[in-house]
Amino acid sequence: MERTLVIIKPDAVQRGLVGPILTRFERRGLRFAALKLMQITPELAARHYAVHKDKPFYPSLIKYITSGPVVVAVIEGNDAIKIVRTMMGETHPAQAAPGTIRADFGMEIGRNLVHGSDKPETAAFEIPLFFSDDEILSYQRAIDSWIYE
């Protein structure tokens, strides 16, 4: 069972897309291990996006992710990191495949609705930025045996 950090970004919250986006992950068979509404501070944004700090788009990225409330989640499942990234689509919505979140709801790279950890080491770094251990729950659902053989 693998865990990944998902952020429903400020544009998605403002556009009323929290439910539709979370529903996609739920319907797929993924399980929420943690979930909350929060506002990302500039300090937290800088830690989360530290790998991008020298990129030209960094200032606008920080402005965007701190511009309003976000919904953050720890989502788990077998191969959850890759499955969530595939469901999100390419970084630029114009390059994202139809049926992905970014293609179905987005137009621009600077308003691409959702974040998902890109590899296990990234997930291990990102999850503790947003959640303490006691906020992340381990449990089974009755349907899990109908999702995994």
Binding status of residue 7 toward ligand DAT by CB under 6 A: no
Binding status of residue 136 toward ligand DAT by CB under 6 A: no
Q: How far apart are CA 51 and CA 64, in angstroms?
A: 16
Q: Is 4 helix (H, G, I), strand (E, B) or coil?
A: strand
Binder among 17, 33, 61, 62 for ligand DAT (CB under 6 A): 61
User: In Å, how far from its chain's centre is CA 69?
Assistant: 14
Choose between 2 and 118: whose C-beta lies nearer to Mg ion: 118
Orientation of helix 18-28 relative to helix 80-88, angle to 10°: 140
Residues 6+ apart with CB under 8 A from 134: none
Q: Smallest gap, in angstroms, from Cβ of residue 92 to Mg ion?
A: 13
Of 31-39, 67-75, 111-119, 125-133, which segment contacts ligand DAT by CB under 6 A? Answer: 111-119
Q: How far apart are CA 84 and CA 100, in angstroms?
A: 10
x/- letters, 107..126, toward Mg ion (CB under 5 A): -----------x--------
**Residue 130 identity:** F
CB atoms within 10 A of CB 77: 21
Q: List the structure tokens of 98.
A: 């139809």
Of 13-21, 71-79, 105-113, 134-142, which segment contacts ligand DAT by CB under 6 A? Answer: 105-113
20 exposure class (CB count in 10 Å sphere: 0-12, 13-18, 19+) = middle
x/- letters, 63..102, toward ligand DAT (CB under 6 A): ----------------------------x-----------
Choose between 129 and 137: whose C-beta lies nearer to Mg ion: 129
| Residues near ligand DAT (CB under 6 A) | 52, 57, 61, 91, 109-110, 112, 115, 118
